[in-house]
Amino acid sequence: MKKMAWVIMGVLMLSSSLKVKAEVDPNFHIYICFGQSNMEGNAQWQSQDVGNVDARFQMLATCNFDNPKRTLGNWYKAECPIVSPQGKLGPTDYFGRTMVAHLPDIKIGVIAVAMGGSPIEMFDKDKYQQKLADNPNEWWAQLSKWYYGGNPYGRIIEMAKKAQEVGVIKGILLHQGCSNCGDPNWPDMVNKIYKDMLNDLGLQAADVPLFAGEVEYQNMGGGCSSHNVQVDRLPSVIPTSHVVSAKYLPGNGTDPWHFSAQGYRYFGQRYAQIALSAIYDIDIDVDQPAVPETPKEIDHRFSALTEIKTAHFAIIDESEQKAFYGRHEQFLGYGDFSQAFAELNSGYLFKLSKTGGGFRLRLITPEGNDYVLTGDFGFLNSQDVDGDRCFIGGVNGQNGQDLPKGAVWDIQYVEGKGFTLRNVGTGKYLKSNDTAKYDEPTYFTFCTLKDGSSGIAEREMTASQKISTGWYTLDGRRLSQKPTRRGLYIFNGKKTVVQ
């Protein structure tokens, strides 16, 4: 009887084991998604993103959510936000939606772990502890502690093993790079993490490819576009990796690192397009963003337009609807751009034209010709580079050396900091009106008028101006009354700022 009982128990245990294995659904395909803020999702979802998710697209909660209420380790329909309570709309959303739309008999699940600003080392199981110890107050360090117990890689492996109880891991999605921008070691670091994941989960590279997305392109305002050189190297380091293009994906118009909601939709579709082709041998067409118009490029702008030395000009910041304007080196005002250019009549209009998260300096001639400004151009600097004067560098060198001739300059805007100027050819940043030779950017702004100081080089006044009472513009025009427009004026023979 005892022997029979042991036999029956053995049969029951074997049956139980077979039952667990039978619960693994071969048609439930799961993808690990990790990275920094773009993978976390950075765009506010819109009405078109809500309430239309196919129930076959599932997310495994990798942390606890309050709104909507979700519990770590449980599966949910993949409604926004997918990654964490901090995250918003990202590429994961439309990756999954596109996958289920083209795989009618397959469920798609995602396991997503990402922290805004996170360096790639935070996903290296041998380096994350030191990285945390060295940077305890960084935002990404706080996120890793709040949501992933301080060990993002460990949370991925923990949740992936849980997912393997019900489905099959088919691929890994990565979007990271800005926090390691341009590091030539980045592909090897990604390779180590990829191999660690495969080993810890008992997977084979041939069965689980890696899909890595590019960062925002320079012509769309991207602030770390140079990192795409490293992203594009991945297939030479990881044979089972695929690069997902970010070409023409629109930025959010606020910063130079993140995509817009529409950009994330396009990006998610592109991830799915590559995955469907690589894993399922299915080729699909996806929505594509409009190719941005590119104005004509002309080198040596100031040598070609020598009359700029006498012409009127305005440099316009369209986001602020303000313009610095004047004649040659005479500062006339800083105010509403339409009024500024109206006063200039036939002057040249330099537009800081917004493209994604950044700006490009363009020249629009009175005839309506539109050019990207390259070569030797002027810029405004509020920092104390040459005494206490603002200067227009690259026009005639009066306030310092000319900018390097023949260079192509990229202007990028960073919210709250100002503009950076980078030599496209060398990749080096400008710090003063000397050669661009710095790896770290210096931020420039419009000339600011503070504490009654104009920041403009002294202009010689005539004797009559020095003794005359009343208000004058800097070019000597007498005004009938105190000006109402903010700017620098001459009052009773002294320069005066009107706020």
Position 393 scores a pLDDT of 36
Whether 358 has a pLDDT exceeding 80, the answer reads no
Position 249 scores a pLDDT of 93
**What residues contact residue 20 under an 8 Å CB cut-off, 6+ apart?**
165
Which of helix, strand or coil describes residue 277? helix
Percent of the chain at pLDDT > 90 equals: 48
Whether 242 has a pLDDT exceeding 70, the answer reads yes
DSSP conformational letter for 375: S
Query: Using 50, 70 and 90 to split pLDDT, how confident is the model at 420?
Result: low
Q: Give the range with max mean pLDDT: 249-258, 347-356, 486-495.
A: 249-258
Whether 388 has a pLDDT exceeding 50, the answer reads no
Closest CA to 96 of 220, 262, 267: 267
Whether 378 has a pLDDT exceeding 60, the answer reads no
Position 199 scores a pLDDT of 98
Residues designated catalytic: 37, 255, 258
Closest CA to 217 of 292, 106, 117: 292
Q: Helices 91-102 & 261-280, crossing angle to 10 degrees?
A: 40
Whether 120 has a pLDDT exceeding 90, the answer reads yes
Position 290 scores a pLDDT of 84
DSSP 219-248: GGT-SSGGGHHHHTTHHHH-TTEEEE--TT
Mean pLDDT of 181-197: 96
* From 96-100, 301-305, 380-384, the region with the lowest mean pLDDT: 301-305
**What residues contact residue 220 under an 8 Å CB cut-off, 6+ apart?**
246, 248, 249, 250, 251, 292, 355, 356, 357
Question: Given phi > 0 = left and psi -120 to 50 = alpha, else beta, which region is 253?
Answer: left
Position 255 scores a pLDDT of 78
* From 158-162, 307-311, 402-406, the region with the lowest mean pLDDT: 307-311
Mean pLDDT of 208-227: 89
Mean pLDDT of 409-431: 63
**What residues contact residue 470 under an 8 Å CB cut-off, 6+ apart?**
478, 479, 491, 492
Whether 237 has a pLDDT exceeding 70, the answer reads yes
The more confidently predicted of residues 193 and 313 is 193
